């Protein structure tokens, strides 16, 4: 919703019905409820992108009950630019709604030159979060993640840094991302001993990528930690984009590191069969893929990117049909697991 102030500048007023249709899920055994669909700013929010488009996406998200916004220090490009652009939009539109938002950022991947700009040292994590808060114009984030395991730094140092970040008031909760089950268990044990609220593990999860089912979801359940799933659409494969091959200008046509032509071509038959199930459910393939992940009680939220407000609204309709029959689930498994 928009109104004009006295200077004629459009001022954002959030929809009064923003909480009417969104489903909220408890995050592990914490007090936090997350929207079933959250918005991630990995793509489309860097300096190379349209700030106005990003602004429209975030307005649409909040107007539809998406309170959780996910960032990382190196989102862009260039690194840091997604946080900076988000800070600009926050100041313009969401300053009065800060307490209704659950804002996340992370550190763990390459960020700046030299030995202190990567991985999991105390030096890197605390410095990175200080930079992130400055870029976003925030005093604290709601959750701060270690973005990936560091094989060289003792886990006690990394988790100790997360604990001190909470005690310094720079984050309310902590999380980890991309940790295997055994690493997750060790992190949970350390954080419990430090009395730190560890509430989320952010993991890649889709119909085509089910590694979390091999012990991670069980580990999270045992420790009262929720899961938030990223890449639920398998970098676009679980959409209607590749039903008839690889369109020019798509991610796969560019053979990016996370999606290439061989991967898509080897899965097109599966994509087409899954799309037929989605159509029978009255859904698009992307909507069914989102609903399929949310059937897992450990999953508190599915993290989506969006290139436009229209695309985001389309994916939000996944919440209109979250139920699967046993026959549907069996058929999906048969299709995905077929050679």
What is the CA 221 to chain-centroid distance, rounded? 19
Strand partners, 67: none
- Whole-angstrom Cα distance, residue 247 to residue 212? 30
What confidence score (pLDDT) does residue 262 get? 84
Q: Is the pLDDT of residue 6 over 70?
A: no
- Quote the DSSP letter at residue 92: I
Q: Is the pLDDT of residue 8 over 60?
A: no
Give 166-188 pLDDT, tens digit per residue. 999 999 999 999 999 999 999 99
Give 265-313 pLDDT, tens digit per residue. 889 999 999 999 999 999 999 999 999 999 999 999 999 999 999 999 9
Strand partners, 259: 256
- Whole-angstrom Cα distance, residue 208 to residue 236? 11
| Rounded average pLDDT over 133-161 | 98
Q: Considering only CA atoms, which of 149, 109, 171 is closest in space to residue 163? A: 171
What is the CA 183 to chain-centroid distance, rounded? 21
Q: Is the pLDDT of residue 4 over 60?
A: no
- Whole-angstrom Cα distance, residue 308 to residue 260? 23
- Whole-angstrom Cα distance, residue 268 to residue 315? 21
248-255's contacts with Cβ under 8 Å and 24+ in sequence apart are: none
What is this structure's pTM?
0.94
- Whole-angstrom Cα distance, residue 196 to residue 164? 9
What confidence score (pLDDT) does residue 303 get? 98
Q: Are 158 and 195 in contact (CB under 8 A)?
A: no
Q: Where are the alpha helices (DSSP H) in the chain?
A: 51-63, 81-89, 122-136, 155-167, 181-193, 216-222, 261-280, 285-294, 309-316, 326-337
| pLDDT, averaged across the chain | 94
Q: Where are the alpha helices (DSSP H) in 153-282?
A: 155-167, 181-193, 216-222, 261-280
Give the three-state DSSP class for 43: coil
What confidence score (pLDDT) does residue 261 get? 84
What confidence score (pLDDT) does residue 252 get? 61
Q: Are 99 and 66 in contact (CB under 8 A)?
A: no
- Quote the DSSP letter at residue 232: T
Structural domains of the chain ordered from first start: 35-337 (3.20.20.100)
- Give me the phi and psi of 243, to 5 degrees please: -60, -30
The model's confidence at residue 10, banded by pLDDT at 50, 70 and 90, is: confident
- Whole-angstrom Cα distance, residue 172 to residue 32? 11
What confidence score (pLDDT) does residue 332 get? 98
Q: Considering only CA atoms, which of 175, 185, 178, 284 is closest in space to residue 231? A: 178
Q: Is the pLDDT of residue 9 over 90?
A: no
Q: Is the pLDDT of residue 140 over 60?
A: yes
Question: Can you give the C-alpha Rg of the chain in angstroms?
Answer: 20
Q: At what angle do helices 122-136 and 155-167 cross, to 10 degrees?
A: 40
What is the enclosing helix (H) or strand (E) of 113? none
What confidence score (pLDDT) does residue 5 get? 46
């Amino acid at each position: 919703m928009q109104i004009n102030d006295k200077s004629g500048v459009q001022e954002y007023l959030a929809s009064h019905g923003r909480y009417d249709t969104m489903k909220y899920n408890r995050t592990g055994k914490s007090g936090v409820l997350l929207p079933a669909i959250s918005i991630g700013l990995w793509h489309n929010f860097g300096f190379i992108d349209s700030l106005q488009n990003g602004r429209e996406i975030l307005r649409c998200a909040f107007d539809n009950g998406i309170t959780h916004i996910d960032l990382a220090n190196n989102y862009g490009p260039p690194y840091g630019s997604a946080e900076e652009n988000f800070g600009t939009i926050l100041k313009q539109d969401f300053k009065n709604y800060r307490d209704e938002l659950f804002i996340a950022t992370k550190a763990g991947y390459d960020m700046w030159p030299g030995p202190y700009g990567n991985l999991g040292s105390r030096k890197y994590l605390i410095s990175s979060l200080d930079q992130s808060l400055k870029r976003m114009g925030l005093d604290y984030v709601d959750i701060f993640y270690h973005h990936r395991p560091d094989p060289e730094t003792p886990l006690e140092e990394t988790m100790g840094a997360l604990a001190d970040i909470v005690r310094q008031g720079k984050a309310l909760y902590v999380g980890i991302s991309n940790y295997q089950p055994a690493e997750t268990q060790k992190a949970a044990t350390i954080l419990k001993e430090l009395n730190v609220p560890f509430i989320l593990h952010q993991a890649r999860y889709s119909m085509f990528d089910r590694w979390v089912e091999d012990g991670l979801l069980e580990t999270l359940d045992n420790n009262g930690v929720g899961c938030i799933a990223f890449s639920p659409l398998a970098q676009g494969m679980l959409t209607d984009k590749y039903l008839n091959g690889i369109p020019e200008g798509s991610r796969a046509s560019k053979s990016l590191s996370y999606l290439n032509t061989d991967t898509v071509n080897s899965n097109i038959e599966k994509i087409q069969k899954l799309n037929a199930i989605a159509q029978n459910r009255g859904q698009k393939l992307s909507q069914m893929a989102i609903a399929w992940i949310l059937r897992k009680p450990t999953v508190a939220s599915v993290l989506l990117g969006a290139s436009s407000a229209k695309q985001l609204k389309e994916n939000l309709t996944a919440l209109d049909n979250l139920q699967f029959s046993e026959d549907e689930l069996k058929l999906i498994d048969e299709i995905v697991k077929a050679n």
